[in-house]
Amino acid sequence: MQTRSIFGFHIRTAYLSLTYFDQFLSRRSIDIEKVWAIRLLAVACLSLAAKMEERKVPLLSEYYVDEFNFEGNMIQRMELLVLNALEWKLGLITPFEFIHYLITKFFGYCSPPTDLVSKAMESVSSIIKEISLMDHRPSVIAAAAVLGASDERLTRAVMELKIDIIASWGSLEKEHIFSCHNLLVELEMEKSKTPNSLVSTNLQIKHLSSSSVTCGGVGTKRKLSYNVDSENQGPSQKIFRQ
């Protein structure tokens, strides 16, 4: 069955959905062998994030994930489980709140260039698909994105000088920033080698699929992919009802 809708979700929505997903897995157990349960959780997290961020929210019946088609009441029940696990705390701080501030602090711009802001936001979208958001503060992700967007050839010494401007950051924050920055460099190298194999940065989400999940404990790892091409999906579809 063809994908029934295309959602022009903002990257903030993607960030929140991944954060909800990671937080849920850090507090609740889920059988990773039940692929449908992981997909249902992903849909519920995306739906909740959309309700927090988007002006126009799709109907639950419009969400479609691979071969799975969940009925609205199933998604609602999973949403409630997520809400209870997160203690209804959905209004989270995201890296995007720090981008303008960090550009100003790091580079002295009174008014950050639009292209630098845009590139930093794209860098955030690249980072969050590869790391556990439970292990990285939003400000740290933003710092790595801003540094990566400005000049990928920054030396560690130069980055340390800029990071030291933020007095509240210690050695742990520095290491996380360096780690995320190195990840960006690696992703950019992969992109230059195989540009057609990477996820588009147009921030449109056709459907959400979980590619790998390891559950249990605070060290939960997650990698979700936002697929932009569903034309090769098979015609079969599993319909899940309560």
Is residue 199 predicted with pLDDT exceeding 70?
no
Cα distance between residue 27 and residue 192, in whole Å:
38
Percent of the chain past pLDDT 90, that is, above it, reads 29
Q: 59-74, pLDDT tens digit by residue?
A: 877 777 666 778 888 9
The pLDDT value given to residue 221: 46
Q: Can you tell me which residue has the tokens 């899940």? A: 240
Cα distance between residue 205 and residue 11, in whole Å:
10
Cα distance between residue 74 and residue 66, in whole Å:
17
The pLDDT value given to residue 140: 93
**What mean pLDDT is reported for the chain?**
76
Q: 11-50, pLDDT tens digit by residue?
A: 888 889 999 998 999 898 887 778 888 889 988 999 999 9
Is residue 227 predicted with pLDDT exceeding 60?
no
3 state SS of 46? helix
Domain 11-92+200-240: CATH superfamily is Cyclin-like (1.10.472.10)
Is residue 216 predicted with pLDDT exceeding 80?
no
Mean pLDDT of 221-240: 39
The pLDDT value given to residue 89: 92
- 198 or 52, higher pLDDT: 52
Domain boundaries, the chain: 11-92+200-240, 95-197
Cα distance between residue 159 and residue 107, in whole Å:
11
CATH class of 95-197: mainly alpha
Is residue 219 predicted with pLDDT exceeding 50?
no
Q: Tell which residue, 157, 175, 21, 169, has the closest CA to residue 105.
A: 169
151-157-162-163 Cα dihedral, nearest 10 degrees = 110
Cα distance between residue 57 and residue 54, in whole Å:
6
Is residue 152 predicted with pLDDT exceeding 80?
no
The pLDDT value given to residue 65: 63
Q: Which residues pair with 212 in a beta bridge?
A: 223
The pLDDT value given to residue 194: 59
**Phi, psi (deg, nearest 5) at residue 223:** -135, 115
- 3 or 55, higher pLDDT: 55
User: Does 11-92+200-240 match 95-197 in CATH topology?
Assistant: yes
Alpha helices in the chain (DSSP H): 11-27, 35-53, 72-85, 99-107, 114-128, 138-150, 156-163, 171-193
The pLDDT value given to residue 228: 31
Q: Tell which residue, 70, 68, 81, has the closest CA to residue 209.
A: 68
84: pLDDT confidence band, cut at 50, 70 and 90?
A: very high
237: pLDDT confidence band, cut at 50, 70 and 90?
A: very low
The listed range with the strongest mean pLDDT (59-63, 95-99, 235-239) is 95-99
Answer for the pair 135, 196: CB distance below 8 angstroms, yes or no.
no
Give whole-number Cα distances, 211 to 22, 32, 126, 130, 195, in Å: 14, 11, 15, 11, 20
